[in-house]
């Protein structure tokens, strides 16, 4: 199992989730993506992506002005 970390701070919608989607194409089932973003719509966008792509959003938490989330492929 691999964990890929993405720093998407400073990127605006929809770029953080597009980075997650692109990274997911290079990883295998069971791998993890941990992403940090400060986009105001990040949580909603990531939840929508996970539902649509059948990915598992393990957790999302606030870290200062950003949010950190972990997605299982």
The string of pLDDT tens digits covering residues 2-48 is 999 999 999 999 999 999 999 999 999 999 999 999 999 999 999 99
What is the domain partition of the chain in residue ranges?
3-72
Confidence of residue 54 (pLDDT cuts 50, 70, 90): very high
The second-level CATH assignment, the architecture, of 3-72 is 2-Layer Sandwich (3.30)
Q: List beta partners, residue 62.
A: 67
Active site positions, annotated: 13
φ/ψ of 30, rounded to 5, equals: 95, -15
Say how many CA atoms lie within 13 Å of 37 toward its Cβ: 26
User: Read out DSSP for 2-67?
Assistant: -EEEEE-TTPPTTHHHHHHHHHHTTS-TT-EEEEEE--TTHHHHHHHHHHHHT-EEEEEEEETTEE
């Amino acid at each position: 199992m691999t964990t890929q970390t993405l720093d998407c701070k400073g990127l605006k919608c929809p770029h953080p989730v597009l980075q997650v989607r692109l990274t997911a194409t290079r990883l295998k089932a069971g791998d993890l993506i941990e992403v940090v973003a400060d986009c105001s719509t990040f949580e909603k966008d990531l939840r929508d992506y996970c539902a649509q792509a059948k990915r598992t959003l393990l957790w999302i938490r606030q870290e200062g002005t950003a949010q950190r989330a972990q997605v299982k492929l």
